Amino acid sequence: MPLRVMEQDFYDLFEGWLYNETTSEAIISLFDKSTGKSRRISVLDPMWLVNCSKKDIDCLFYNKIVYEKRDKEQAMQYQTIVDVWFAQDINSGRYWKTKWRDLEIDEFLKGTSENKDQRLYLKEQQSLGR
């Protein structure tokens, strides 16, 4: 299932973020000092935050989500995701390397001898982060 495209590099406009109990989403508040305009980013699913840049994840990690006491469990789903991604350096600009990726490549290219060269090429590209 594709993830929603998220605005990136909002960290310099960041004012705060909170859990909205009415809509069951996290709201990221932004303010542009040069124009005097404010806006918000609505995040319905915590997984959407993986599309944020490294600096955005850092910003959300250091500025904890605001929530009402009764909404702690829901709000912490967003904060916990950010905490894990901060600790594991997972963000939109990072190619996440796992053993599963190697397995997917091997299984995809398995079969013919000509695919051996393709498999080696793809593994080389993967090690270069492409």
- pLDDT (tens, 9 = 90+) of the chain, 130 residues, equals 566 777 889 999 999 999 999 999 999 999 999 999 999 999 999 989 988 999 999 999 999 999 999 999 999 999 999 999 999 888 887 665 556 566 666 666 665 555 667 767 777 777 776 5
d(CA 18, CA 33) in angstroms, rounded, equals 21
Tokens of 4: 């929603």
Which pLDDT belongs to residue 100?
A: 57
Which pLDDT belongs to residue 60?
A: 97
Phi, psi of 95 (to 5 degrees): -85, 110
Alpha-carbon distances of 47 from 44, 68, 114, 115, rounded to whole Å: 9, 22, 38, 34
Alpha-carbon distances of 90 from 32, 86, 123, rounded to whole Å: 27, 7, 21
pTM for the whole structure: 0.70
